[in-house]
Chain A
Amino acid sequence: MSDPRWSEALAHLPDYLGNHVRVSVAALALGLLISLPLAIIARNRPVLRGALLGLASIVQTVPGLALLALFYPLLLALAAVTAAWLGFSFSAFGFLPAVLALALYSMLPVLRNTITGLSGVDPAVLEAAEGVGMTPRQSLTMVELPLALPVMMAGIRTAAVWVIGTATLSTPIGQTSLGNYIFAGLQTQNWVFVLFGCFAAAVLALVVDQLLALIENGLRNRSRIRAALGGLGIAALIAATLVPALARPHARYVVGAKTFTEQYVLSALMAQRLQAAGLPTTTRAGLGSNVIFDALAAGDIDVYVDYSGTLWANQFYHSDIRPRAELLSELKTTLAKQDITLFGELGFENAYALVMPKTRADQLGIHSIADLASHAATMSIAGDYEFFSRPEWAGIQKAYGLSFRAQRTMQPDFMYAAVASGEVDVIAGYTSDGLIAKYNLVTLADDRHAIPPYDAIVLLSPKRRDDEALKAALRPLLGKIDIAAMREANLRASGNDASSSPDAVARWLWEKVGPR
């Protein structure tokens, strides 16, 4: 445990664990609040029962990450509706979508087990309940529910474990959770973080499961002590995670980051600058790239770094490619209409580029994408999760008449190793990635300008438009980070040792680019 990454991971634990417990408990409580009455209503109605179980099963087949991601735009639209019609709005970011999606996720085991438990009660016993003069409600509370309890509790325990596990996936929609360890660790190749996150989530799930088992055991054997101990344990867990949250001063500034290494480093850098200027700041790292812009527009985060070409194509759906300066000024105007401030460029570009090993490129005489075209039919290409659905890819294919033998999608950090080892022939990499130098790769020239410029730009939320303190703190970064510095920072951050945490790399970067 001499590795400082363990202590860094531990330092985040109260925050991550606390948020994880809160979102899980809220989701489970909401799920139970909906599922239990529904199951009770549906138990004697076969059509409703079938429909409910079918629906819950369908929800279960939706991958957790997708379900969480779906709730964000849904709530965003709903918030717009309530703002227009009812005069109030709410944050569609973080807690709320996570709770709703996880609650939905928890419903199947609770519904299924409650219905199974209730319909498993011996008809002779139900008849006896009626015969001794119980009302339907008394029969439910005095006979059916107590008899179905063990099966119901098994469902609740399953739901609790599922919710705690799936809650790690709520990081990309802005809900801090133990998933922050996993997402950050995966991106920056910090396996200590990944392990720590998995382990913490597993322990939490196990503890909650055992506490629920204790409650179940107590209820079944009418041991008030055991039931109370279990309940007390759950309450203590919630209280323990609430206390640090209440004690912590409320951060005024929130720095956002997408889900890749460079973003972790830049958000850490900006957070360090803000804190150095005496502005209390937190970071929300690991946000999905479709979530982060809306979160900024809604004021859920205050500042983050985006890339001009990304906004141009993905946010504003332009398919034409403009020269760099023209695109930036156009973007600035467009963003201003949404009250978002394009504060300035950092000084480097993180563009997509087709990348292959240098030795192979030299052998084949490939120096540009045009050279690649004649070889493409026998080659395979890998890109990140969004690349092949982005307009740039269509643009490149059209401009150079590219057609590859095979096309694969990969976790960005694994692509470089994959192309270096010959697993794939070409990758759609990022120009600022430090791994290009590390693996001795080359970026192929885009002579026909099919790939738009991707200047790294700092965006400010509407409410920070006139925030001079914030601007003063970040101004020293503008125009100071060149591609060489960013590549080296990214390479350092992708290392698997103690000096490679985003915070450490951000400090290194500030040393390098900050005023002396």
Chain B
Amino acid sequence: MPATPLIAYAHVGKSFDNGRVVAVDDVSLDVAEGEFLAVVGGSGSGKTTLLRLANRLIEADRGQIAVEGEDVSRVDPILLRRRIGYVFQSGGLFPHLTVAGNIGITPRLLGWPQAEISARVDELLDLVRLDRAQHRDRLPHELSGGQRQRVGVARALAAKPRIVLMDEPFGALDPLTRDALGDDYRTLHRELGLTTVMITHDMTEALLLADRVAVMRGGRLLALGSAAELARNTDGYVGELLRTPRRQAERLGALLPRDGTA
């Protein structure tokens, strides 16, 4: 692990409604360069708030957050967001813009020349495995859910960010699409040398895709580590979260013979 983490949370706190609702409570967490971190927790656990603090969609009340070594409270939030990719739940595509318009939005905001944006859009369509000719000029409502989310990923990658934040990106997809998209993204993450933080409520998905998993509950960071490290955790809630993937794996293992000669 390199000396400076790419994202570093230090004693970060955030509450809403004048302190009545504590969303994130004294969380310290480092994300190393090239790491794929999944943040798992139920609704209200503070995982989405934690993610948004990183690109200042939400401002922290307490503590410090550093991105690429810089204290985020000292950088222009607009510029910060343009250099961090963000994948929204169920796409968050602009309904009035074509696929190309959606993918090229951040480069456009950054003032790239039109030709360069156009070339980048083609490159990204290839990258997320969407046919250029077929999809370039379509509107979001003409796409399937999986295609929309591929466009969402392409949009996040358009301005060549080092960091990608993902807010339950595959949650609304059917299992097959979800699996394919997860795998495809994992490949992109590795090939492009990205640093990814992904929010999910699905422990199985987190374990399969991420290098490390952070477990949040009630705004606190409950556990953090690789699958093996989590397995050794003694916390009851962590154990409960791991029970489902474990049981699934056991039953599937029994049902599907390893050599495939069923």
Cβ of A133 under 8 Å from chain B? yes
Prevailing SS type, chain A contact patch: helix
Q: How far is the CA of A142 from the CA of B105 in the complex (A)?
A: 10
- Cβ–Cβ contact A128 & B88, under 8 A: yes
Given contacts A124-B92, A127-B92, A147-B96, contact A132 B81 (CB under 8 A): yes
Instruction: Say how far A125's CB is from chain B's closest CB, in angstroms.
Output: 6
Q: How far is the CA of A142 from the CA of B108 in the complex (A)?
A: 11
- Cβ–Cβ contact A133 & B78, under 8 A: yes
Partner of A124, one of B82, B89, B105, B110: B89
> Which residue in chain B gives the minimum CB-CB distance to A143?
B94
What is the number of residues of chain B that contact chain A, defined by CB distance less than 8 Å? 21
The 8 A CB mask of A102-141 against B (1 = contact, 0 = none) is 0000000000000000000010110111111111001000
Partner of A135, one of B55, B57, B78, B80: B78
- Cβ–Cβ contact A132 & B96, under 8 A: no
> Which residue in chain B gives the minimum CB-CB distance to A146?
B96
Partner of B81, one of A133, A143, A146: A133
Residues of B within 8 A of A135 (CB): 78
Q: How far is the CA of A138 from the CA of B155 in the complex (A)?
A: 17
Cβ of B42 under 8 Å from chain A? no
Given contacts A125-B94, A138-B109, contact A132 B82 (CB under 8 A): yes
Partner of A131, one of B79, B81, B95, B110: B81
The 8 A CB mask of A143-157 against B (1 = contact, 0 = none) is 100110000000000
What is the number of residues of chain A that contact chain B, defined by CB distance less than 8 Å? 17
The 8 A CB mask of B143-162 against A (1 = contact, 0 = none) is 00000000000010000000
| Number of cross-chain contacts by CB at 8 Å | 49
Residues of B within 8 A of A133 (CB): 78-82, 106, 109-110
> Which residue in chain A gives the minimum CB-CB distance to B90?
A124
Instruction: Say how far B79's CB is from chain A's closest CB, in angstroms.
Output: 7
- Cβ–Cβ contact B92 & A131, under 8 A: yes
Q: How far is the CA of A147 from the CA of B94 in the complex (A)?
A: 9
- Cβ–Cβ contact B78 & A132, under 8 A: no
Instruction: Say how far B217's CB is from chain A's closest CB, in angstroms.
Output: 25
- Cβ–Cβ contact A131 & B55, under 8 A: yes
Residues of A within 8 A of B79 (CB): 133
Cβ of B210 under 8 Å from chain A? no
Cβ of B9 under 8 Å from chain A? no
Among B184-204, those with CB < 8 Å from A are: none
Instruction: Say how far B91's CB is from chain A's closest CB, in angstroms.
Output: 8
Given contacts A127-B57, A138-B109, contact A132 B95 (CB under 8 A): no
> Which residue in chain A gives the minimum CB-CB distance to B96?
A146
Residues of A within 8 A of B57 (CB): 127, 130-131
Q: How far is the CA of A78 from the CA of B105 in the complex (A)?
A: 51
Q: How far is the CA of A146 from the CA of B98 in the complex (A)?
A: 13
- Cβ–Cβ contact A132 & B105, under 8 A: yes
> Which residue in chain A gives the minimum CB-CB distance to B80?
A133
Residues of B within 8 A of A122 (CB): 95
* Interchain Cβ contacts under 8 Å between A and B, 27 examples: A124-B88, A124-B89, A124-B92, A125-B92, A125-B94, A127-B57, A128-B93, A128-B94, A130-B57, A130-B81, A131-B81, A131-B86, A131-B88, A132-B86, A132-B106, A132-B109, A132-B155, A133-B81, A133-B109, A133-B110, A134-B109, A135-B78, A138-B109, A142-B94, A143-B94, A143-B96, A147-B95
Residues of B within 8 A of A (CB): 55, 57, 78-82, 86, 88-90, 92-96, 105-106, 109-110, 155
7 A-B pairs with least C-beta separation:
A133-B82, A128-B92, A133-B81, A131-B86, A146-B96, A132-B106, A132-B105
